[in-house]
Amino acid sequence: MAKTSADAATTRAAHRPTPRALSTLRRLCLALPGVWEKTSHGEPTFWNAKKMFATFAHAATHHGNGRHAVWCKSDHLTQRILIAQSPERYFSPPYVGVSGWIGIHLDGNLDWNAVAARLEHGHRLAAAPVSRRAPKR
């Protein structure tokens, strides 16, 4: 059977050492109710039911771009506020930033309580039912 690019990404991820930041992130995410982890696009991701609410971005990949980070489900207002308050810590991640997700660099003098709060917020958003707009008449 031929290997796919997803298989190759998973194999590469399996051979990278686990950063301390990922160990802490994993502990925080898996402490939330109903959370499970799977590898997606070569990175550990965290899910609540069928919705992803956080993904680790390894510094050695294009996702991390030289710095370990977590991308958390969020909303546009929270994203704008956090980036304006602390642009050295928070950023709009590629691919999902346009949907309001927030990126958090996991290096330097990091407040893990603030990271936990962002993860809890993303977890709640992932658990919330999707509102459907009524069709226009």
Report DSSP state, residue 7.
H
What does the angle CA 92 – CA 108 – CA 19 come to, to the nearest 5 degrees?
85
Please give the tally of structural domains in the chain. Answer: 1
Residue 10, domain member (yes or no): no
CATH of the domain at 118: 3.90.1150.30
Residue 42, domain member (yes or no): yes
pLDDT tens digits, 115-132: 999 999 999 999 988 766
| Cα–Cα distance for residue pair 25/112, rounded to 1 Å | 9
Entry pTM: 0.81
| Cα–Cα distance for residue pair 102/90, rounded to 1 Å | 7
Residue 7, domain member (yes or no): no
pLDDT tens digits, 5-56: 444 444 444 445 568 999 999 999 999 999 999 999 889 999 998 999 999 9
Residue 133, domain member (yes or no): no
